[in-house]
Homo-oligomer: A and B are copies of this chain.
Amino acid sequence: MSLTYDEFYNGRTGLTVGVNKILFSEETPYQKVEVYETDTWGNLMTIDGMVMLSERDEFVYHEMLSHVGLFAHPDPRRVLIIGGGDGGTAREVMRHSSVQQVDMVEIDEAVVRASKEFLPEVGDWNNPKLNVLFEDGIQFVKDIDDPYDVIIIDGSDPVGPAEGLFESNFMQACYDGLSENGVLTAQTESPWVSDYHPSMKKVFSALEDIYEVSKMYLAYIPLYPAGMWSFSFASKGADPLSNETLSRVEEGLNNFDTELKYYNPEVHRGCFALPNFVRDIID
């Protein structure tokens, strides 16, 4: 007998991963959270049968969701993460020396509990900049009093509790909760999965309507459907490809206390290059 984790998209196309054992499985009030020990990817977390991260590949998603937006902002001090319960996005955000406070609003405490126990290297939980709140992110954004410099939408797929994160009124509430030079980044699904195209179109056209600058970018994530993942960047003016941003990337990375595994100045520029079929989805 051999255990496998199996996830399907586009009909019967799927990913299969060899599993040694199940480490965690809980039906929470919001979703089903599971962690598997795999044969070659370290521990792997899934939510409602969709891969969130493995210990081996999580660096791609977390570096790309964080640094592309953070470096586009001239001086990010206050950062809000919606979702992100595994802690990886906050870990990357807190590498930026300008950042003073990170509010992470995760709806489901079970995600944080499972991550602390079974993905202990992913989060930087004892960092004094980090403030974890177990609340509904959509409501939290509506109630923002003290604006954020950067908001990062690190939710799961647009089914279940994360569905509202792809809505136009949520993107407007984020805009209203951002400071003058505010920047937003969000995970926005795989261009190869046709079921996601309506959500991708919806969220991207909302960003285009509401924000002064909006661009899609891509990263290679081996355990996500088809291995190609899209993210969206939006801002009140900051341009991720300006010379100012590009110098900030060079200089900022030199000041990090560790070398990243994916993100670098060339990747920052290159990730905004969209293949024609991806452009066609959002145009």
* Residue ranges of A at the interface with B (Cβ–Cβ < 8 Å): 2, 4, 6, 8, 10-18, 39-41, 59-60, 192, 218, 220-222, 226-228, 259-264, 266-267, 269-277
The verdict on A275 contacting B264 (CB below 8 Å), with A11-B18, A16-B6 known, is yes
Please name 20 pairs of A and B residues whose Cβ atoms are closer than 8 Å in the assembled complex, sorted by A: A6-B16, A8-B16, A12-B17, A12-B39, A12-B40, A13-B17, A15-B15, A15-B16, A192-B220, A192-B222, A218-B220, A220-B220, A220-B227, A222-B228, A260-B276, A261-B276, A266-B272, A266-B274, A270-B271, A271-B273
Q: How far is the CA of A6 from the CA of B13 in the complex (A)?
A: 10
The verdict on A39 contacting B16 (CB below 8 Å), with A227-B226, A262-B275, A276-B263 known, is no
Number of copies: 2
Q: Is the CB of B15 within 8 A of A40?
A: no
Looking at the assembled complex, report how far the CB atom of A190 sits from the nearest CB atom of chain B, in whole angstroms. Answer: 9
A227 nearest in chain B by CB position: B227
A39 nearest in chain B by CB position: B11
With A2-B12, A227-B228, A264-B275 given, can you name 10 additional A-B contacts, CB distance below 8 Å? A11-B40, A12-B17, A13-B17, A13-B40, A264-B273, A267-B275, A269-B270, A270-B270, A270-B271, A271-B273
